[in-house]
Amino acid sequence: MSRGRKALRAFLMIPLALAFVAVVLASQPPATLTVDDIVARHVAACGGLEKIRSIESLRETGRISAGADRKALVTRELKRPNRTRFEFTVQGVTGVFVTDGERGWKMSPFDGNTDPTPLSDEVVREAAEQGDLEGPLVDWKAKGHQVELVGREKLGEREAYKLKLTLKSGAVRYEYLDVKTFYLLRTESMREMRGRAVQIQANFSNYSKTRGVLFPRKIELAAAGRPQHLLVVLDKIEINPPLSDALFEMPDSVTP
Amino acid sequence: MRAARFLLPLVFLVPLPVFADDVYLQGGAKFSGRIVEQTETMISMDIGDGIVGIAMSRVDHIVKAPSPLDTYDQKAAKLGPKDAQGWRNLGRWAGQEGLSAQSRKAYQHVLVVAPDDPEAREALGFVLFDGRWMTEEESYVAQGYVKYEGEWMTPAEAQLAQENAEAEQARQDTERQAREEETAKLQEEAQAAKVEKQAEWEKSTRYWNLPVYLGGWGIGASAWPSTGTDSQWLQQWPRQPSSETPK
């Protein structure tokens, strides 16, 4: 090969190499992503703002297990704004726990009581946090939350951005987003259990999309330093199922 | 009206007609199983793990539906005692239907045939630790956890919880002691006030009984109040004691 042809070939290779580098760089997250960048990528990974905002109601059906003798079927229904309804079925007996964001009530035959009774303020407050069906990171500024990037941490085989999320209510939790997929891997929060502050971890996995929106199918809940785990496996997810407002209304016969 | 309460599981020795139903309560709670008895005031329902009583006053409506319990019984009747795979499938199905008791029964059949069957062991709450199947609690102990006030936790957390509980107890003791001292102080002050009042009362009584009041006899003319100071003198006079002694 002549020197001239070699030079020409090298010259032609330069744009190809540059293009290759550009593609590689574009596929890698920048080294210094801002909180806004991370959240934007997370929202995109979840299906995009438009699809997420189109969800008016949600029904998730699955199974909960906390050991051999503690298994239940569970249905979680959410409806904007901040309305939640949980149904737990154990051995043919179904109890309901409902909140509308401000008040809550339950019918828990497991406790031997078929009267509707009000939920404690603490439970209602926690349910209201979970009633945001699009998740707190979506439109976090408009919702009055604060988010800051704490750093990157290893979660098993994966690496995650650790975000400190301070909810409008003042409650603090940490959200771990996969640095590659931007899926939510873990949420950490503090809860009061029998008078003791305990760190609760929720780990999310088995992600798949329903009507273009990403959902975890497996959720494992555990308290730090405790051996017990609560495992939730979701078998079915329905987007915008018809949920009447009456489902979330407190019956007149609620007894304090 | 108070809610219907779970009745203790009852054993019915006499075969009863069974109906598969879903009983919906006002507010959304539900019972699924076989109605074994229904009166104007009460429904007795077999939920597969005992009989529960439901007050009719709480019932919103009843829906006739095939009971998974019937399906379980039909499937179980077709299985031989050594059909591990059949019982395994039935245990899995019952679990998915929320029939925990039936699921356990089916998996126990599996263990009779295959004692180390992983699915059956795990379904029945056993944990494989160091190559040996053990109960959940045994595995917690093997992993070094301790039970503190009904909760399994690390020894360090249990120690901290114990110390916090002791500190809280000490704080409560201190508060109680302070309250008791305050109460004692108040009682002392009340007692002192009572003594003082008693003394005043006795003093007033003494004055009240003085001869001067009764006419001034025996104390001489100089002790008599002058006309000009009469009203002032009367104001200084102890009030007439009541008929009751001071408390």
A189-248 tens-digit pLDDT: 887 766 777 888 999 999 999 999 999 999 999 888 888 888 999 999 999 999 999 888
Pairwise CA distance, residues A174 & A150, whole Å: 9
Residue A110, pLDDT > 90, answer no
User: Cα angle at A110 between A106 and A114, to 5 degrees?
Assistant: 55
Is it the case that residue B243 has pLDDT exceeding 70?
A: no
Contact residues of A toward B, CB < 8 A: 63, 67-69, 71-73, 85, 87, 89-96, 98, 105, 107-109, 112-116, 193-194, 196, 225-228, 247, 251, 253
Please report which helix (H) or strand (E) contains residue A193, including its range.
strand A184-193
At A184, list the tokens.
Answer: 């939510």
Q: Which of A88, A91, A119, A236 to mutate to test binding with chain B, by most B CBs within 10 Å of its CB?
A: A91
Q: Which residues pair with B53 in a beta bridge?
A: B44
- The pLDDT score that the predictor gives to residue B244 is 42
Residue tagged 């349910």 (tokens):
A127
Q: Taking residues B230-247, what's their average pLDDT?
A: 38
Q: What is the dihedral of CA A233, A100, A132, A93, to 10 degrees?
A: 0
pLDDT digits (tens, 9 = 90+) for A160-176: 999 999 998 888 999 99
Burial per residue of B168-201, b for 16 or more beta-carbon CB atoms within 10 angstroms, e otherwise: eeeeeeeeeeeeeeeeeeeeeeeeeeeeeeeeeb
Query: Which of B2, B98, B125 lies at the smallest CB-CB distance from A69?
Result: B125
Residue A24, pLDDT above cutoff 80: no
CA nearest to A114 within chain B: B3
Question: Which of A73, A87, A105, A115 is most worth mutating to test chain B (most B CB atoms within 10 A of its CB)?
Answer: A115
B164 with A105: Cβ contact below 8 A:
no
The pLDDT assigned to A117 comes to 87
Distance to chain A for B14, nearest Cα, Å: 23
Mutate to test the interface with A, among B35, B96, B99, B160 (most CBs of A within 10 A): B99
Chain-centre distance of CA B4, in angstroms?
A: 19
List the one residue out of B51, B61, B52 whose CA is nearest residue B27. B61
Q: 3-class DSSP state for residue B13?
A: coil
Candidates B141, B76, B134; CA nearest to B110 is B76
CB contact under 8 A, A115 and B149: no
Q: Is the pLDDT of residue B141 over 80?
A: yes
More confident site: A131 or B16: A131
CB pairs under 8 A between A and B: 109
Is A115's CB within 8 Å of B151's CB? no
Burial of A238 (0-12, 13-18, 19+ CB in 10 A): middle
Residue type (1 letter), A234: L
What's the pLDDT tens digit per position in B167-207? Answer: 988 999 999 999 999 999 999 999 888 888 777 756 554 44
Q: What is the mean pLDDT of chain B?
A: 76
Q: What is the pTM of this model?
A: 0.71
Q: Do B55 and A114 touch (CB under 8 A)?
A: yes
Closest-CA residue of B relative to A73 is B98
Domains and CATH numbers, chain B: 19-66 (2.30.30.100), 69-143 (1.25.40.10)
Query: Alpha carbon B163 to chain centroid distance?
Result: 25
Give the one of B68, B104, B136 whose C-beta lies nearest to A67's C-beta. Answer: B136
* Max CA separation in chain A (angstroms): 95
Give one DSSP letter per residue of B137-171, joined into a string: HHHHHHTT-EEETTEEE-HHHHHHHHHHHHHHHHH
Which of A34-43, A218-227, B131-140 ranks highest by mean pLDDT?
A: A34-43
Q: B-chain residues within 8 Å CB-CB of A251?
A: 26-27
What is the C-alpha to C-alpha distance for residues B91 and B94, in angstroms, rounded to an integer? Answer: 5
**Candidate from B2, B5, B100 with C-beta closest to A91:** B100
Output the six-digit token pair for A151. Answer: 């750093």
The rounded mean pLDDT for chain A is 85
Looking up tokens 């009583």 gives B53
Q: Is B130 helix (H, G, I), strand (E, B) or coil?
A: coil
The pLDDT-based confidence of A30 (bands split at 50, 70, 90) is: low
Q: How far apart (Å, rounded) are the C-alpha atoms in residues A48 and A106?
A: 35
Tokens representing B29? 């709670």
Contacts of B100 in chain A (CB under 8 A): 69, 71, 90-91
| pLDDT at residue B197, as a whole number | 79
Which residue of chain A is at minimal alpha-carbon distance from B150?
A: A194
Is the pLDDT higher at A3 or at B77? B77
Establish whether the linkage from the previous residue to A15 is cis, with ω within 30° of 0: no
Secondary element (H or E) of residue B180? helix B155-208
Chain B residues inside the 8 Å CB shell of A236: none
CA–CA separation, B76 vs B87, rounded Å? 8
Using the predicted structure, report yes or no on whether residue B217 has a pLDDT greater than 90: no
Q: What is the 3-state secondary structure (H, E, C) of B56-68?
A: HHHEEEEEECCCH
- Compute CA distances A256 → A96, A127, A181, A215, B201, whole Å: 16, 19, 47, 37, 54
pLDDT value, residue A126: 76
- Alpha-helix residue ranges (DSSP H) falling in A28-59: 35-45, 49-53
